[in-house]
Amino acid sequence: MLTVKYIAPALFGIALSLTPVSGFAQSTSHDGHAASELALTLNAGAKWQGDDNMLKGMDAIRTAFAANLDAIHEDRLPAEDYKTLAAEVMAQTDFMIENCVLEPAVDEQLHSVLGQVIEGASDMEAGSEPRAGAVLVVEALNAYGEHFEHPGWQPLD
């Protein structure tokens, strides 16, 4: 029989994995990439400096959304296209997570963005309200552009 001695540490680990990264002063793992709350700050008034992997991944996600934005706005994007878009978002998110070499403070901010991106992609994949998931991703992309230095970045309308 399991006792509190064994259950408590397991529950604590689960709670940590579900806690948004923005609640931590510093993060050294990527468990927080699944955070669901977007809370960004600037770097002492300046935009955060990322790396080439972040720029490449975020560019790819933005490009995929820009190509579908009118259909999303007009609520005419087919369910299968939402699923395809979600798969592209997740592929790029996985790429950024696997290749992340950001400093902890920058990484923490990116965790918040990617958390909302992942949440939106999951909603798009699930299919019950895919448009709402797409809106979450667009909001995250626009917030990213306001908080990260990314040459040529344009917000999505």
Q: Which pTM does this prediction carry?
A: 0.75
pLDDT at res. 115: 94
Average pLDDT, the chain: 80
pLDDT at res. 20: 36
Tell me the C-alpha to C-alpha distance, in Å, between residue 70 and each of 61, 66, 127, 137, 139: 16, 8, 19, 15, 15
Confidence band, pLDDT 50/70/90 cuts, at residue 4: very low
pLDDT at res. 157: 82
> Per CATH, which fold does 4-149 belong to?
Four Helix Bundle (Hemerythrin (Met), subunit A) (1.20.120)
pLDDT at res. 153: 96
Q: Which residue has the higher pLDDT, 17 or 129?
A: 129
8 Å CB contact between 33 and 122: no
Tens of pLDDT, residue by residue over 49-97, are: 999 999 999 999 999 999 999 999 999 999 999 999 999 999 999 999 9
pLDDT at res. 16: 30
Delimit the domains of the chain by residue range: 4-149
Q: Which of 37, 55, 18, 27 is nearest to 116 (CA)?
A: 37
Q: How far apart are CA 157 and CA 154, in angstroms?
A: 9
